[in-house]
């Protein structure tokens, strides 16, 4: 990550949003070895920012590293927590990935599937900015909440 990206993250007002705060919590929670203890928010969130230049450096075919897999899990865990906050029902994420970076994400609320997304090329997972990451999460969140609102009986099971 270059210095420009770190300074952009440090100044970004989006850091105060619920989703970004949740992403920081998720990254710290997935850190079972304490590698991120004491690290600034910019370092934790920097793993999610993948500028066009950085994306061009990544080969088209490759296996995801542990940091990238942790970012994918944190992203969908964060969305699940926000779904749970909004509707008051437990949202459970299931992230299934092969070692090659292909898989699927499901988020269920009760017996209701509110998010079903195929994952491809996970080794290239990232967003151009924190704003783009939040916008993507907001789209998923609104669709999920709409589905829960449409089928509340199934979500409550």
Convert the pLDDT of each residue in 39-67 to its tens digit: 888 888 888 998 888 888 888 888 898 88
- Segment 74-88, tens digit of pLDDT: 999 999 999 999 999
Spatial distance between the Cα atoms of 7 and 5, rounded to a whole number of angstroms: 6
Q: What gap in Å lies between CA 91 and CA 141, rounded to an integer?
A: 11
> What is the four-CA torsion angle of 145, 146, 152, 155, rounded to 10 degrees?
-50
Query: Rounded to the nearest 10 degrees, how much is the dihedral formed by the CA atoms of 49, 52, 55, 56?
Result: -160
The CATH number that domain 3-155 falls under is 1.10.3100.20
- Whether residue 105 contacts residue 89, with contact meaning beta carbons closer than 8 Å, is answered with no
Query: pLDDT averaged over the chain?
Result: 88
State residue 9's pLDDT score.
58
* Predicted pLDDT at 7: 55
Domain map (residue ranges) of the chain: 3-155
């Amino acid at each position: 990550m270059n210095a420009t990206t770190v300074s952009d993250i440090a100044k970004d007002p989006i850091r105060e949003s619920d989703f970004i705060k949740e992403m920081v919590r998720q990254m710290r929670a997935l850190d079972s070895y304490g590698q991120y203890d004491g690290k600034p928010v910019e370092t934790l969130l920097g793993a999610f920012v993948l500028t066009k230049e950085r994306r061009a450096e990544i080969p088209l075919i490759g296996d995801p590293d542990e940091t990238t897999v942790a970012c994918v899990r944190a992203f969908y865990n964060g969305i699940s927590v926000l779904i749970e906050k909004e509707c008051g029902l437990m949202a459970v994420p299931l992230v299934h990935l092969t070692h090659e970076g292909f898989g699927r994400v499901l988020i269920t609320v009760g017996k209701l599937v509110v998010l079903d997304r195929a994952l491809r090329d996970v080794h290239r997972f990232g967003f151009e900015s924190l704003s783009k990451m939040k916008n993507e999460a907001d789209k998923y969140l609104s669709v999920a909440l709409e589905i829960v609102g449409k089928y509340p009986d199934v979500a409550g099971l």
